[in-house]
């Protein structure tokens, strides 16, 4: 597992905190999944 260190906007952090509570996932896992999704979307857009 890779540790993440980043500044996150307050409203986004509240969303992540709520999602973590509702899904029982860790905040770090939620942010890591979002970053991977963001990267895959950007890579597919650059290939077009």
- Summarize pLDDT for 2-31 with one digit per residue, the tens: 666 677 788 888 999 999 999 999 998 998
In the chain, where the domains are located: 11-47
Residue 21 pLDDT: 96
Rounded to 5 degrees, what angle do the CA atoms 25, 28, 33 make?
A: 80
pLDDT-based confidence at 1, cuts 50/70/90? Answer: low
* Alpha-carbon span 47 to 26, nearest angstrom: 32
The answer to whether 36 and 11 have CB atoms below 8 angstroms apart is no
Both ends of the chain: CA-CA distance in Å? 32
Q: What is the pTM of this model?
A: 0.69
């Amino acid at each position: 597992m890779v540790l993440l260190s980043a500044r996150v906007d307050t409203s986004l952090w509240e969303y992540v905190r709520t999602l973590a509570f509702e899904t029982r996932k860790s905040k770090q896992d939620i942010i890591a999944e979002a970053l991977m999704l963001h990267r895959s979307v950007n890579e597919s857009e650059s290939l077009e």
